[in-house]
Every structure is written in C-alpha cells, then in structure tokens.
Amino acid sequence: MAWFRRRPAAPAQTASTRVVVTSPDGPTTTWPGPTLAGQTCAVINGTGVPKDLTWPRPGLTIGDRRLPGILVPSNTDLLVVKARSEPPEDGKPSIFVVRRDFLAGEERDSPSYLGVGARATIFLNLSSRLCPSLKRLGAALQRDGARLYVHAHRAGRHGFLRLNLSLPGLDHDFDTAISPVDGNVQEFLAVACQTGVIELHLSHESSGTALSCACSAALVQPVADRALAELADAGHPATPAEHDAFNAGLRAALVAVNDSLDPTAAIPLTVTGSALSFLAIEVVI
C-alpha cells in the first residue's frame, strides 16, 4: 500500500562479499555463485522446500530477531515455483536473467522493496507529475543522496512497517505501508542489514532510460532493528483472508500517520556507484 507525502517547504557489493539469506522451510539464497557469461549469479537453493508448502511459513531471522511468519510469498519463492514448473531437460539448475523492473512491476510512484538475488533493491517508476526530469534527479542523487525512513505503526491489533523514500529535489516523498508477513520486505531488510547496501532503480514514465545506483546504508541495521522491536508484541495476519482484510484498511492507516517523519528513523543513502539493472540467478531444485 503506497502513498506520497508532500514535504515541508524549505559501498557496492563485490564478489568478496558473501551473503546468505536462509529461510526456514523455504529457499536459501547465496551470493556470489557461479560466473556465467561474465556475470556473477546468485544461487537460490530450493531443494529443501516442500512442494506442498503451507502458509504462513516461519519468518526470516535478522540479527537475533525472528520475524513473523511469511504469509505473502516473495519473488524468491516465485522463482522456485517457476523453476519447478519448467525444469531444464538436462536436469541442470534453471538460469534466469531478469530485469529489475520485470520483478517489481510498472505501477507509478509506488516503490517496491525486494531482496531477491541477495540484493536489497528499491524500484520506483516515477510519473512526470512528481518527477519532471530523471536526469536532474540523478544529478541531485549524486550530490545529496537520498533517505529511507523505516517506522513501525499499529492498525488495530496488527502492526505494519512504514517505509518512506525521500529523493532530493522532489516536492513529494513516497510512503509505503507493508505488513511484515510480506516475504519481499523481509528479504529486503535481511539483505540490507547483512550488506549495508541498498540499490535504487529509478525509471520514468516518459523516458526509456533508467537510473540504477548502489548506495551505502550504514544505519540500516539499528533503524530496522528498532522498528521490528516495536512490532514484537503486535498481532499479524495468519490467513490469506485476514491479510486481505488487513490490507483493505492499510491506506487509511498510512494516511493517518502520513504527516510526520521521525528523524531517528532515517537511513541516509549515499551513492557509491552504479548497479546492474538485471539479475542473474541460478535456481537449484
């Protein structure tokens, strides 16, 4: 559930960085994996994932904290399902090379938070109304960086995460409310906390170009841990029907807290270099 908020007036991963995202009863992602055609693959191991996997399944662990059970499958889960449905005839692992925008979708002005392939990524397709020029935004990002705020809130007995992306030079920032039972946001936070790197992949409705950069995010671990701690005693949806009912009220809950940001919840994002706009993934089933 996304919304935008009017503002008041006024190092990249390298092959030596080993990242492992282990999911109880679910797939495990490891990076780096093999190199194919000059590209380092992430490896998703789905051999231990039951074919009749039930939801929710156990949540991921970030630091010493176990997250709520995952009720919404992540893109990693969906790649395992796809590999099983179309296995290679030679019995070898499935290889997927996918663009970030394909994984995140095309909805405008609504950030997607992904951790698939052991890369913590924010994808955002910007409208001309909110961003007149992607080129000017890119120059401002290089100069000023961006900020990601991670808050915890309640909507009745259930808790939700509020992720707010603030980009330089724009009159609005981008608010998103997500239940922590969502597999994508769990993977995003797990990878970001391990690596201290968050990638921004920005596109524009009126241009065929895109902006992909890696940003250092040194404060992501303490900020995320505090938000998750605030939800430790919150309730969470346990069935798809409960999740649908909860999601139906998320927009109102987000708008209710949309008028303020806690500066202690800010994660500065400093551009450190470019980022590949696609993923190379080997899926073992």
Cβ of 28: how many Cβ atoms within 10 Å? 18
Give the CA distances from residue 60 to residues 74, 189, 262, 266, in Å, rounded to whole numbers and listed in that order: 12, 10, 26, 23
Q: Which of 271, 269, 251, 115 is nearest to 176 (CA)?
A: 251
Beta-ladder partners of 95: 282
Q: Report the alpha-carbon distance of residue 85 to residue 79 in Å, rounded.
A: 10
Cβ of 183: how many Cβ atoms within 10 Å? 27
What pTM did the predictor assign?
0.92
Q: CB of 125 within 8 A of CB of 205?
A: yes
DSSP characters for 50-97?
A: -TT--SSBPPPEETTEEPPPB-B--HHHHHHHHHHHS--TT-PPEEEE
Mean pLDDT by 10 residues, the chain (285 residues): 49 66 91 87 91 87 93 93 86 84 78 95 92 91 97 94 96 94 97 97 83 96 97 92 92 90 96 92 92
pLDDT tens for residues 57-114?
A: 999 999 889 999 999 999 999 999 999 988 887 778 899 888 866 776 678 899 999 9
Q: CB of 269 within 8 A of CB of 215?
A: yes
